[in-house]
Amino acid sequence: MTTSITRLASVSLFGLLLASPAMAAADEKLRAAAEQAQPAVIESLRDMVMIESGSSDVDGLKKMADYTEARLKALGAKTERRKATRGAGADIVIGTFEGTGTKKLMLIAHMDTVYEHGILASQPYKVDGVRIYGPGIADDKGGIAVILHSLKILNDAGWRDYTKLTVSFNPDEEVGSIGSGELIAELADQHDVVLSFEPTAASPVAKNDSLLLGASGTATGTMDVKGKASHAGAAPQLGRNALIELAHQLLQTQDVAKSIPGTQLNWTTAKAGTVRNQIPDHATAGADIRLTIPDGVQKLQAALDEKVKNKSILDTEVTVKIEPGRPPFVASDRGRALAKEGQAIYAEIDRTLDIVEMTGGATHAGYAGRSGKAIVVESFGLAGWGYHARDEYIDTNSIVPRLYLMTRMLTELGKKK
């Protein structure tokens, strides 16, 4: 679900720096190179889809790390691998290129998918017209393919108009970047611009490709209720039913976020009792929390603490704890200016590029943009649909435009002083 946030762009020195004249004529050499690269992109997509790499699949993630590292080395990058600090213990792949220009540029994508091991048996790689299906093909192996093949095109053209170009492929974006987020933030702060390669939507309601300027941060809420056990048949009145109190608290807190703009809370799990004939003395519930404001956790925590003071069953104990997750991503005015440059680049090839203000999903771009030091824009990956569901696919009609967008954008960024 997408929501809109209207923001006025303020003029800044860097904003003026990013502004560029209208670009009407296409770069025919780059467009031809993108067209020639399409078969190789499809081959790369197949290679990666055939590697199952769910967020907990250490073996699959190692294969993806081996694959991407080898591809980066073939492009001339100096590579390293760092262990994620939490989670399954997979590797983060980092490739670094040294150039002759002035800008420090960073490209990020993720190697993990949401699918369990063995998914290819029920959802195999297949081609159906302009759609290519496969688990993770859009989210985010399409993004990896755009990075690798855009750099190949520019490498073949001899482009080195940057002082440093860093590529980071992480293994845990789908579980909140729990072991890579801090490294992404650290690396991003060392760069002028960070481009993230999550997919753009190819849904029936999305007429055009897009770039993303905002995504929710995440947090996990836990409600814990302690009551008193007793015999459910012989002496229920002696108990303090934690399940009933939990139900009361869920109902009275379900709309608490509506009074705090920029926050969203949904109770999604619950558990109480172990046997039928005992009044339960313990009950818990879990909440999915989304945030677009930096102090959202604190505001929600205060509101929930106040709400749960109102109890239905006396002598029960109710606590709520919010654990912060991934920070929200909200692009700066400099990021908006860069996205508008992308629109001008798409217009060169007679295509429309939409700018999406906000999505309820989350992205590792939140870590990249956390400090505000780097310009960050999201969704440079391929157009796709069905991710986090069934029959995930990419639209092959997006391959050439997205390669053109990325190669043109990088060359334009390299010209900035």
Q: Are 21 and 12 in contact (CB under 8 A)?
A: no
Counted residue by residue, the chain has a size of 417
Q: Please give the biggest Cα pair distance in the chain.
A: 84
C-alpha angle with apex 12: 362 to 361, nearest 5 degrees? 5
Q: How many angstroms separate the Cα of 155 from the Cα of each of 86, 151, 307, 378, 393?
A: 35, 6, 59, 23, 28
Supply the residues annotated as catalytic. Answer: 112, 173
Is 80 within 8 Å of 94 (Cβ atoms)?
Answer: yes
Compute, in degrees rounded to 10, the torsion defined by CA atoms 116, 292, 83, 54.
10
The one-character DSSP state at 53 is -
DSSP 350: T
Tokens of 75: 């492009």
Residue with tokens 């290819």: 120
Residue 385 has which token pair? 């649909």
Four-CA torsion 141, 147, 149, 151, nearest 10 degrees: -160
**Could you give the C-alpha distances from 198 to 9, 101, 300, in angstroms and in order?**
24, 27, 29
Whole-angstrom Cα distance, residue 129 to residue 87? 38
